[in-house]
Chains A and B, each alone.
Chain A
Amino acid sequence: MDLLSNLAMGFGVASTPANLAFCLIGVLLGTLIGVLPGIGATATIAMLLPITFQLEPVSSLIMLAGIYYGAQYGGSTTAILINMPGESSSAVTAIDGYQMARKGRAGIALATAAIGSFFAGTVATLLVAIFAPPLTTIALKFGAAEYFSLMVLGLIMAVALAHGSVLKALAMMVLGLLLGMVGTDIYTGTPRFTLGITAYADGLNFVALAVGLFGIAEILRNLETEHTREVMVKSIQRLMPNRQEFREMAAPIMRGTVVGSVLGILPGGGAILASFASYTMEKKLSRTPEEFGHGAIAGVAGPESANNAGAQTSFIPLLTLGIPANPVMALMIGAMIIQGIVPGPNVVVDQPMLFWGIIASMWIGNLMLIVLNLPLVGLWVKLLSVPYYVLFPIIMAMCAIGVYSVDNNTFDLYAVAFFGLLGYVLSKLRCEPAPLLLGFVLGPLLEENLRRAMILSRGDATTFLTRPISAGLLLAALAVLVLVFLPQIRSRRDEVFTESDG
């Protein structure tokens, strides 16, 4: 009954008029920046951090959290309507969501995303409340060896999941790994591939790379073929899914919620990995895998639930251990420290109002999002039906401001331009940027953890196999690899992709 009284206290804190207002501001702002490609939650929270200094700690964290999960909702809207993921975690949603939109089922796709997100958000919020303290012990069992094996699994899944040829996907992933090498080697302090530019000593900026590859490249592509924009939805005919559609989305939403909740807890994993993992899983489990890439409802329901669940459960390590699972959580820690709260196990004990208030606000925020978003879809669509010559310069400017605001580094803007061009060239060559992005994110972690595991085991490579969790993850990776190259599946996979390429 402790849980109930705690939750009651949390709702009491979160439903004061002021906190409701901050929650609303947060989710609205989050949806807005989620809808606008290029400018992400990280940049927005970083920009708002100074303002939170003036607010009550609970209010500021409620608002910042609202921005974060609001962005997950908004990001999927653009992914579905214009094939331009507003947030990197909704990149997967774009694959099938956009196809649904092209077939006139945009409303259904949006509703699926919203329902999936809401369900996942509700479940994940409950999970945070119930399991926050015990669940962190899972995360703590992960040492360098386990992380390494997890990355291996992640990268192999990225290749298995990629559209089109395995070779191209592999090449993109390796390119991503190489780009991830740029910067100072953390073990020896030697700069690598920095071309003598000190601004690159800490590596290429992730936001710059993502904005360039996905945002700018997409704009260039769209400018080339302006007519394809007519495909984009002008009006949403039907929002409410019918019984059949509900049945189709139910299981993927459940599975996506589970996958997302688990991956969200793991530091470094989070929403992006969760949506990728869920998509692969749905495709593998589907009785009609050939529909994927052509507007499969499961391809929207699964990943959308997964990324929202992941976004929510990534608060678990933050609230209980004071450890950030991703850059946004790192900023949340900053927001807590500014308020004089030391993030860590003590938050639950010393600041129960804050802890349970945030948890309750997550559910309220999710409710606000579903209530606001479905009726407001029209408004967001209008935002997107602004003519290109108005929209593109605004997006470009937003991208530039967003990227610059992360580190105040001009080189990041050159990087945006460069990766924008690269992304355009890659799309011409039919190379998908998604594995590149994953390689870029996971590569440095892969290397760091490989070397750390080796240092800790004093050069004994069997450490990866003698630790049970690590061995299990490597086995799973092997299984995925075998599945991909199994002649039977391989031919079917090729078939699927030839179709979708046509």
Chain B
Amino acid sequence: MTPFLNRLLLGTAMVAGLAGAAAAQFPERAVTLVIPFAAGGSTDVVGRIVADKMSTHLGEQVIVQNVGGAGGSLGATQVAQAEADGYTILMGTVATHALNPLILTQKPYDPVADFAPVSLLVLVPNVLAVNPELGVDTVQELIDLAGTEPLAYASSGNGTPLHLSGELFKSMAGIDLTHIPYQGSGPALTDVLGNQVPIIFDNLPSASGHITSGSLKALGVTTAERAPSFPDVPTIAETLPGYETYSWNALFAPAGTPPEVIAALNEAALAAMADPEVIARMEEFSATIVASSAEELGTHVTAEMAKWEPVVTDAQVRMD
């Protein structure tokens, strides 16, 4: 190797090293990942798994902070108002970045203007399930039954993605079901298992144990494709073409965060989602990994808001 080439290579390496150093300036200290729900829920689980792997990649600890309350609005507001330096980021969901802004009459934050998208991490399917004693085996049979007798369905609460999945189902099937809101999936599941309420819309991960054991009968998943973890459960769209809802988790930074910081966070998030351990966990969890670019997440948020707006208006879900 000639001395000239050697020097050239050294120079390039140095330039690359400098560029690396510039990027490596973020993070200089621990990053706080705000999870806008209480510990133990599905968003919390995804958040903690991802935070753990992102820490390895960033070389600084990603600390999980649960700021629950007001259906995720409290945590989201906190990040929207945080300093735009990338040290405070949010695990956003379909609730914080599509439904709440549509439902709340007083809007504490703007899901588009107040945030810089980082990456859409996973999609989580929802499921329509019934107590086996109801005696229906398919979505069509349920629709027929609802035409002849009054039925009620349980959800994790007013204005949650699951409630609106139910409302979308009602309007597309042209039937009426009484909505019974609960304080979270747990109590709603209890009452459906005990056949106090015959039907439930739930996150697939939280209902999956009961579906496998046969104590709940899954009529359909809400995604466009069947869930890989339950290949035998049809999609609702196979009966009602075009029906599609799912919960999702995505990372957001406050608006105005420097692009190179967003890039570093995005890179760490993608690396985390490519980790075999994370892939295995997400599979157990029935979640589909997306690991999108920042731009794709921006487009996704706009598309989700456009999709949910008519549903929210039709169902007349409003909160002050």
Chain A positions near chain B (C-beta within 8 angstroms) = 46, 49-50, 53, 139-144, 184, 186-191, 198-199, 201-202, 267, 317, 321-324, 330-331, 333-335, 337-338, 340, 342-347, 349, 407-409, 448, 452, 455-456, 458
Pair count A-B, CB < 8 A: 133
**B209, closest chain A residue (CB):** A344
Asked whether any CB of chain A lies closer than 8 Å to the CB of B224, the reply is: no
Q: Is B39 an interface residue (CB 8 A)?
A: yes
Complex-state Cα separation, A50 to B77, whole angstroms: 23
Whether B313 sits at the interface, judged by CB under 8 Å, is: no
State which of B210, B285, B319 has its C-beta within 8 Å of the C-beta of A184.
Answer: B319
With the chains together, A200 CA to B78 CA distance in Å? 15
Complex Cα–Cα for A144 and B49 (A): 36
A458, B180: Cα distance in complex, Å: 12
From the candidates B39, B193, B205, name the one contacting A321 in the complex (CB within 8 A).
B193
User: In chain B between 105 and 136, which residues have their CB closer than 8 angstroms to a CB of chain A?
Assistant: 108
Indicate if the CB atoms of A198 and B67 lie closer than 8 Å. Answer: no
A324 to B190, CA, bound (A): 10
Which 8 residue pairs spanning A and B have beta carbons closest together? A334-B40, A344-B209, A143-B196, A140-B194, A189-B319, A201-B70, A345-B213, A342-B209
**B317 and A142 within 8 A (CB):** no
Return chain A residues, CB-CB under 8 Å to B186.
323-324, 330, 333
- Other than A186-B157, A189-B158, A407-B38, give 15 A-B pairs with Cβ distance below 8 A: A186-B182, A186-B183, A189-B318, A190-B320, A198-B74, A199-B69, A199-B74, A201-B71, A267-B190, A322-B210, A338-B45, A344-B209, A346-B209, A407-B66, A456-B197
Within 8 A of A (CB), among B56-82: 64-71, 73-74, 77
Report yes or no: B196 in contact with A456, Cβ–Cβ below 8 A: yes
B319 in contact with A338 (CB, 8 Å): no
Which residues of B are found within 8 Å of A186, using beta-carbon distances? 157-158, 181-183
Question: Is B190 touching A331 in the complex (CB atoms < 8 A)?
Answer: no
A-B residue pairs in contact (CB < 8 Å), sample of 27? A46-B66, A141-B194, A186-B157, A187-B181, A189-B103, A189-B318, A189-B319, A198-B69, A198-B77, A201-B71, A201-B74, A202-B70, A323-B190, A324-B186, A331-B39, A333-B40, A334-B44, A334-B45, A338-B45, A342-B206, A342-B208, A342-B284, A344-B209, A345-B210, A345-B215, A346-B212, A349-B213
**CB-defined contacts of B191 to chain A, threshold 8 Å:** 143-144
Given contacts A198-B108, A322-B209, contact A455 B180 (CB under 8 A): yes
Residue numbers in B under 8 Å from A53 (CB-CB): 48, 52
Residue B41 interfacial (CB < 8 Å)? yes
Q: How far, in whole Å, are A345 and B190 apart by their CA atoms in the complex? A: 12
Set of chain A residues within 8 Å of B68, measured between Cβ atoms: 202, 407
In this assembly, does B18 line the interface, its C-beta being within 8 Å of a C-beta of chain A? Answer: no
Please measure, in the bound complex, the distance between the C-alpha atom of A456 and the C-alpha atom of B66, giving whole angstroms. 34
* Contact between B193 and A140, CB atoms less than 8 A apart: yes
Q: How far is the CA of A340 from the CA of B319 in the complex (A)?
A: 34
Q: Known interface pairs A198-B70, A321-B190, A346-B209. Does A448 touch B183 (Cβ–Cβ under 8 Å)? A: yes
A190 to B105 alpha-carbon distance, docked (Å): 11
Contacts of A201 in B (CB 8 A): 69-71, 73-74
Q: A143-B191, A323-B190, A456-B152 are in contact. Are A50 and B209 (CB under 8 A)?
A: no
Render B14-42 as a binary contact track against A, CB cut-off 8 A, 1 for contact.
00000000000000000000000011111
Residue B281, interface by CB 8 Å: yes
Which residue of the partner chain, among B49, B187, B285, contacts A267 with CB atoms under 8 Å?
B187
The answer to whether B220 has its CB under 8 Å from any CB of chain A is: no
Q: List residues of B (171-198) whose CB comes within 8 Å of A's CBs.
A: 178, 180-183, 186-187, 189-191, 193-194, 196-197
